[in-house]
Amino acid sequence: MGFVPHLFKNTPLFIRTLTTVLIKAFCISVFASNVHATTTVLVWGDSLSAAYGIPVEKGWVNLLDEELGDDFTVINGSISGETTQGGLTRLPAALQIHNPNFVILELGANDGLRGIPPHITKNNLQRMIEQTKQINAEVILFGMKIPPNYGVAYSKKFEGQFVELADAYNLPFIPFFLSDIIENIEWFQADQLHPTAEAQPAILETILPTLKKAFKTKSTSVSKSLHQENSKDISSDEQENKAIKNAVKNPA
């Protein structure tokens, strides 16, 4: 608030001091309202998140939106057939437009099905993680598995890259979000790759504990920072209140 003394340099001291306190209180109020604003979650995935072959409203992303309620805004940026390269290309614009608090990163399955070298997939995922962190958003990483016919060596490298990234960046991580439905053939469409509408609630049940824990951890961190900031402001305000009293007793 350094501009205040210059702006009111010809006014009595107690008026200048009171004005400083009022402006500072307004700024704190605006900051607090922003902290408690709606939490935005961007889902960045492929057909498994884009509700391929089923009504969009029955997909797990829409079910997540309903589950989280009015305190959250869930944006589905998933595209069927998307690869990590495509996701990397699109992500900067999406981050700028939506400014999310969280990004659920669910990409890599189509890389695996196309036999893309795992190190390329890993590099693309790593760059998306770093881009997201640059705007102070949190990444929740979804791992993936591929059919066994791709060979043990390739499968091991493919699945391992997600674990390595989760460990390296200390990310909330779900190794395989289809784990609870994979053995039930009736929960997959005719292509045996995409879950049916009936399987979506089970997918949500699998991922929800990890998501809620991540959301709660972030919320607690922000609240702690706000509390520390408010404590500093209270101490500063006490000093300013004393200054006001002294100024009133001895006006300039």
**Active site amino acids:** 47, 191, 194
- Contact residues for 5 (Cβ-Cβ < 8 A; gap 6+): 16, 20
Which two tokens mark 182? 């994979």
Separation between Cα atoms, residue 177 and residue 199, nearest integer Å: 12
Report how far residue 1's alpha carbon sits from residue 24's, in angstroms, rounded to the nearest whole number: 7
The burial class, CB within 10 Å (0-12 / 13-18 / 19+), for 125 is: buried
Tell me how far apart the alpha carbons of residues 62 and 204 are, in angstroms, rounded to a whole number: 10
d(CA 22, CA 162) in angstroms, rounded, equals: 50
CB 171 within 8 A of CB 129: yes
Of 1, 29, 21, the C-alpha closest to 242 is: 21
Structure tokens at 31: 């900051």
